Amino acid sequence: MTTSIRINPGISGFAATVSAEKVDKRRVSLHITSDCLQVKKLAEQLGEIDMTALFKPPASSPVYAAAAACLLHPPCAVPLAIIKAVECEMGLALPKNVTLEFEK
């Protein structure tokens, strides 16, 4: 099975897709696409991820560390989508949409 998440980024206009495919009981292969240059750099750095990354706080997460190294904008939803896709692909969560809605 492959878990895929499409990210609508809002005002930046750089949509992205994160796909996670289980390699074995601990590792997931990632395929990340976007027209955003920083997300493309992130995709090059995160070809595969170990599920232990799911249990680390953001300050020590390899996903967020790679995102910072690639200069992703802090509110970018791609790192969150990566973690959610891995979590679902490993059977640790059910796929459920996450939304942010501005209130007036």
CATH number for the domain that contains residue 50: 3.90.1010
**Degrees, nearest 5: CA angle 69-10-83:** 45
Which domain range does residue 52 map to?
2-89
Is residue 25 domain-resident? yes
Is residue 48 domain-resident? yes
Q: How many domains does the chain have?
A: 1
Integer Cα distance of 23 and 43 in angstroms: 17
Residues 38-49 have pLDDT tens digits of: 999 999 999 999
For position 86, what pLDDT does the model report?
95
User: What does pTM read for this prediction?
Assistant: 0.93
Is residue 97 domain-resident? no
Residues 7-51 have pLDDT tens digits of: 998 888 999 999 999 999 999 999 999 999 999 999 999 999 998
CA distances from 87 to 5, 14, 15 (A): 12, 24, 21
